[in-house]
Structure 1
Amino acid sequence: MTAPKLAIPSSGQLAALWERRIWKVAVFLGGAVLLGAVGGLVWALTTHLPSYVVREDLSATMSELELADIIGADASFTLITGIVGLVIGVGGWMVLHRAGWVVTIVPPAAALGASLMAWRLGTIVGSSGFTQRLAVASAGDTVQVDLQLRALSALLVGPFAAVTPIMLLAAFWPEPPNDQAEGEPAGNR
């Protein structure tokens, strides 16, 4: 039995491999941020925001149901970025699983970038200027609250969601056939 031959790549081959991996990572990160922007738009367009009603004495009140809806923006953000994180995790595995340790770092970082993008774009697109609108409101007007993320820990849902499919796929993904020793039959592993 002969020892397997180790092919040492030349510096040009290493440079080409490194550039290709960087290219994959850069495109993946850009796609994740774009997906986060879509998530931010979905968050801004679909979140129900409660409103204050200005009374005759110019005080503003809100019903208990509306008060409960204040956390609805956080809940919908968590759901949207969780789904975005899962998509990024599966996509990261498909694109980077042969890259070794890179698959454990890049998708969670990309999901964090997507969450940050969703947060910033959602707050830009969503309603803002609550204090100014409330200041000029008359009796009987309804003034909608601003879209904002009150629980900043929701930003971490995307990265945690991205890690989950990576762990599961790493555990159950079949090994590539090139891990066999030379001359060893496929059934003798």
Structure 2
Amino acid sequence: MSGPALAPAPHGQLAELWGRTLWRVVVFTAACILTGAIGALIWAEVTPLSEYTVEKDLSASMTERALAGIVAPDATFALITGVIGLLVGIAGWFVLYRRGWVVTVVPIIAALFASLMAWRLGTIVGVTGFADRIAAASPGDVVQVDLELRSLSALLIGPFAAITPIMLLAAFWPEPREEGIELESIAAV
């Protein structure tokens, strides 16, 4: 009497799936979008927002320092997505560098998706509803501006940061040695 048949090891199936370029691209892109979501939460949490002070006549004023701080969300977003882009580029190289042209296109697109996710999710979870809050404010209240990206060109920082490590690694990473080719045979030619 024989025991129950054992199912094939899932490790072999995972290795087979990971060997497919399309599977690598899908998993890599999904991980990059998730990284963008984490970047959105960081952006919403650490960004200093300017504030209006409601005066006695119900007008709102802002100090010069607060006025200069209007660009803080853009600067913080650029820093966060730049770091995410560098991480996407480095990870993209190690995941896709033996897959040909895919290593140059997919990380750029994945970094763009990560930047878009950081922007949209960040504006959803960040401070919103400025018009309603300022309308309901009383004299002496301080009202923060909304978390928003004023310069949409900041969305391109992630893709540009992603391509930088790929270009550097493509230029300086040692080529894989072909099996069966000896250095002496190359030198003899």
Task: Name the structure 2 match of 1:185.
Answer: 184
- Relative to the length of structure 2, the TM-score reads 0.87
Label 1:76 to 1:24 Cα distance change in 2 as closer, same or farther (>3 A): same
Task: Name the structure 1 match of 2:12.
Answer: none
Task: Name the structure 1 match of 2:148.
Answer: 148
Task: Name the structure 1 match of 2:24.
Answer: 24
Q: In 2, distance between residues paired with 1:30 and 1:186?
A: 44
1:69 and 2:69 matched = yes
Q: In 1, distance between residues paired with 2:122 and 2:163?
A: 24
Label 1:67 to 1:91 Cα distance change in 2 as closer, same or farther (>3 A): same
Label 1:186 to 1:67 Cα distance change in 2 as closer, same or farther (>3 A): farther
Task: Name the structure 1 match of 2:104.
Answer: 104
Q: In 2, distance between residues paired with 1:41 and 1:74?
A: 15
Q: In 2, distance between residues paired with 1:147 and 1:123?
A: 6
Task: Name the structure 1 match of 2:116.
Answer: 116
Identity in percent: 60
Task: Name the structure 2 match of 1:88.
Answer: 88
- Relative to the length of structure 1, the TM-score reads 0.87
Task: Name the structure 2 match of 1:52.
Answer: 52
1:96: Cα distance to partner? Answer: 0.2
Q: In 2, distance between residues paired with 1:68 and 1:125?
A: 24
Q: In 2, distance between residues paired with 1:17 and 1:117?
A: 27
Label 1:186 to 1:75 Cα distance change in 2 as closer, same or farther (>3 A): farther
Q: CA RMSD in A?
A: 1.9
1:19: Cα distance to partner? Answer: 7.3
- The letter for the 2-side match of 1:20 is R
Q: In 2, distance between residues paired with 1:133 and 1:168?
A: 48
Which runs of 5 or more residues in structure 1 are unaligned? 1-15
Label 1:139 to 1:18 Cα distance change in 2 as closer, same or farther (>3 A): closer
- The letter for the 2-side match of 1:66 is A
Q: In 1, distance between residues paired with 2:78 and 2:185?
A: 45
Label 1:66 to 1:183 Cα distance change in 2 as closer, same or farther (>3 A): closer
- The letter for the 1-side match of 2:94 is M
1:185: Cα distance to partner? Answer: 2.8
1:20: Cα distance to partner? Answer: 1.0
Label 1:186 to 1:162 Cα distance change in 2 as closer, same or farther (>3 A): farther
| Count of matched residue pairs | 173
